[in-house]
């Protein structure tokens, strides 16, 4: 097991030497376990976007799996554990044993009702011959050029034909249009290997990418979160509204405040800059996401994949994930053996912070269910449960140094950013846990 005997390093400030942690998501919980410091969480439960909840089709929602006929969902959609080294897996297993899975995912082209194995560039054999040949020629013989944006990077590596077929329309939805103005950062998700691309034009290729193998707790992510939270000192419903960095005092929405020596913050970097009043220039952009959890009767064309990337949809969603294709424990007990039900999450991106009205959210939910029925992914929805994730995906402008400058300014006042949103970068559960465990190094850094 990974050793977690750390003490929180603090330096004495005007308000004392108390070190505290903001946010009880996966990084904050790991930091709380590693350090023993108090954790302040804005909501009523731990886990952040990784928190699970249960809904019975006949009504009733809870955060525990006491009802055998409930669907299990996750607030922020499916969160699978990838890229964990042996030490991190030992740490996770000490709280909730995990199972290992091989990824099954695809690109769905609604116009021809066809699934292309993911990543699409390594499976050109599944495309019509004329498209396959043209795409392959552009990828292999394409000329280089200047790369400033994510759109530039995609076309340079995958050619105009494949970009127009998939990459551009998908990223238009996934980034809410930002891919034309943000810096390239997709190599992590879209592997480039020309040998595999050539091979995949004629035959099947091996599964590649950052999540080709992933893990998930056998008893659910909520079991991991619950057991980690038991080892922490958490103050719930303590939403931060302001931080006075000169007096080192944190003010909460309930009207109370506390002093601090140092802060370990897992809260989004842009929000921390706003609450501290520091001047770091124009923040880098982000996208928000409406996650629609759906429990439904299975349709005749329901995919076997665990998640499916969608370049075009009338409702505007870009990904459909199938919780129950990862593990049947997401389903009501009575449906786990017969395949008659499916547990789904759907993601639709919006420009950062542009939350739609309740009426619009209902419309999107209705349109999404209608479209999934037309595709025969589902036949009847029993549960439709939308959740708004304000900061979901973070991006950077070309040549921007905002992230480094913002993190540096906060650090000058004893605030140490960590985790996916605190550091403004894409990463998974395993890396966020490591961030939390490495808290002493972060505070001494």
Residues 217/223, Cβ–Cβ less than 8 Å: yes
Nearest Cα residue to 380 out of 296, 293, 445, 272: 296
Distances 28 to 34, 202, 307 between C-alpha atoms, Å: 10, 47, 28
Distances 422 to 41, 268, 415 between C-alpha atoms, Å: 14, 5, 11
Task: Give the residue-averaged pLDDT of 379-395.
Answer: 96
Task: Give the residue-averaged pLDDT of 364-382.
Answer: 97
Q: What is the pTM of this model?
A: 0.92
Q: Which residues pair with 105 in a beta bridge?
A: 307
256 has a pLDDT exceeding 70? yes
In the chain the domains, ranked by start, together with CATH numbers, are 19-46+232-285+396-444 (3.50.50.60), 48-104+286-394 (3.90.660), 120-200 (no CATH)
Task: Give the residue-averaged pLDDT of 221-246.
Answer: 96
Distances 419 to 215, 265, 291, 330 between C-alpha atoms, Å: 19, 8, 21, 27
Rg of the chain, C-alpha, whole Å: 22
Residues 243/249, Cβ–Cβ less than 8 Å: yes
Place of tokens 């505007």: 316
231 has a pLDDT exceeding 70? yes
Strands 114-117 and 38-40: unpaired
pLDDT score for 375: 96
351 has a pLDDT exceeding 50? yes
Nearest Cα residue to 88 out of 416, 444, 436: 436
- Which of 54-58, 145-149, 296-300 shows the highest mean pLDDT? 296-300
7 has a pLDDT exceeding 50? no
pLDDT score for 118: 94
12 pLDDT band, cuts 50/70/90, is very low
Task: Give the residue-averaged pLDDT of 228-236.
Answer: 97
For the chain, helix, strand, coil in percent to 5 are 35, 25, 40
**Both tokens of residue 346?**
């759907």
Between CA 368 and CA 305 the distance in angstroms is 19
**% of the chain at pLDDT higher than 70:** 94
Task: Give the residue-averaged pLDDT of 380-386.
Answer: 97
2 pLDDT band, cuts 50/70/90, is very low
Q: Where are the alpha helices (DSSP H) in 391-445?
A: 402-412, 419-422, 429-437, 439-444
pLDDT score for 46: 96
Model confidence pLDDT, tens digit, residues 354-365: 999 999 999 999
63 has a pLDDT exceeding 90? no
Model confidence pLDDT, tens digit, residues 160-214: 999 999 999 999 999 999 999 999 876 667 778 899 999 999 999 988 888 889 9
pLDDT score for 66: 80
Task: Give the residue-averaged pLDDT of 55-65.
Answer: 84
**Mean model confidence pLDDT for the chain:** 91
Task: Give the residue-averaged pLDDT of 229-248.
Answer: 97
Strands 71-74 and 52-55: antiparallel
**% of the chain at pLDDT higher than 90:** 84
Instruction: Verify cis geometry, omega within 30 degrees of 0, for the bond prior to 119.
Output: yes
Residues 190/119, Cβ–Cβ less than 8 Å: yes
Place of tokens 């349109």: 367
Residues 319/432, Cβ–Cβ less than 8 Å: no
pLDDT score for 17: 57
């Amino acid at each position: 097991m990974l050793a977690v005997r750390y003490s929180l390093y603090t330096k004495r400030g005007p308000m004392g030497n108390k070190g505290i942690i903001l946010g009880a998501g996966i990084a904050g919980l790991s930091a709380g376990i590693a350090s023993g410091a108090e954790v302040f969480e804005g909501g009523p439960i731990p886990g952040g976007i990784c928190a699970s909840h249960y809904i019975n089709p006949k009504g009733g929602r809870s955060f525990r799996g006491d009802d055998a006929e409930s669907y299990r969902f996750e607030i922020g959609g499916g969160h699978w554990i990838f890229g964990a080294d042996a030490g991190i897996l030992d740490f996770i297993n000490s709280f909730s044993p995990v199972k290992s899975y091989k990824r099954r995912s695809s690109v769905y082209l609604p116009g021809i009702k066809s699934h292309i194995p993911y990543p699409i560039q390594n499976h050109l054999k599944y495309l019509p011959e004329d498209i396959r040949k043209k795409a392959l020629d552009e990828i292999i013989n394409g000329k280089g050029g200047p790369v400033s944006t994510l759109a530039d990077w995609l076309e340079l590596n995958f050619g105009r034909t494949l970009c127009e077929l998939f990459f551009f329309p998908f990223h238009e939805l996934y980034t809410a249009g930002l891919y034309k103005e943000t810096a390239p950062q997709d190599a992590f998700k879209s592997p480039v290997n020309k040998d595999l691309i050539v091979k995949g034009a004629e035959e099947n290729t091996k599964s590649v990418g950052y999540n080709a193998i992933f893990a998930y707790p056998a008893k659910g992510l909520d079991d991991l979160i619950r057991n980690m939270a038991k080892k922490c000192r958490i103050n719930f419903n303590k939403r931060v509204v302001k931080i006075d960095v000169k007096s080192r005092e944190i003010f909460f929405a309930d009207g109370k405040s506390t002093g601090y020596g140092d802060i370990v913050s897992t809260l989004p970097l842009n929000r921390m800059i706003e609450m501290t009043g520091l001047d770091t220039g124009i923040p880098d952009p982000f996208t928000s996401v409406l996650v629609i959890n759906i429990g439904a009767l299975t349709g005749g064309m329901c995919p076997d994949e665990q998640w499916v990337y969608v370049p075009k949809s009338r409702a505007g969603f870009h990904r459909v994930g199938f919780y129950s294709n990862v593990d049947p424990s997401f389903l009501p007990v009575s449906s786990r053996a017969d395949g008659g039900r499916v547990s789904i999450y759907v993601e639709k991106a919006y420009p950062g912070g542009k939350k739609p009205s309740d009426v619009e959210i209902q419309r999107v939910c209705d349109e999404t269910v209608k479209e999934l029925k037309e595709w025969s992914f589902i036949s009847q929805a029993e549960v439709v449960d939308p959740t708004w994730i304000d900061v979901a995906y973070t991006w950077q402008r070309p040549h921007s140094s905002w992230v480094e400058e913002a993190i540096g300014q906060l650090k000058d006042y004893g605030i140490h950013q960590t985790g996916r949103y605190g550091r403004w970068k894409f990463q998974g559960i395993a890396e966020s846990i490591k961030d939390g465990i490495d808290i002493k190094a972060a505070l001494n850094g």
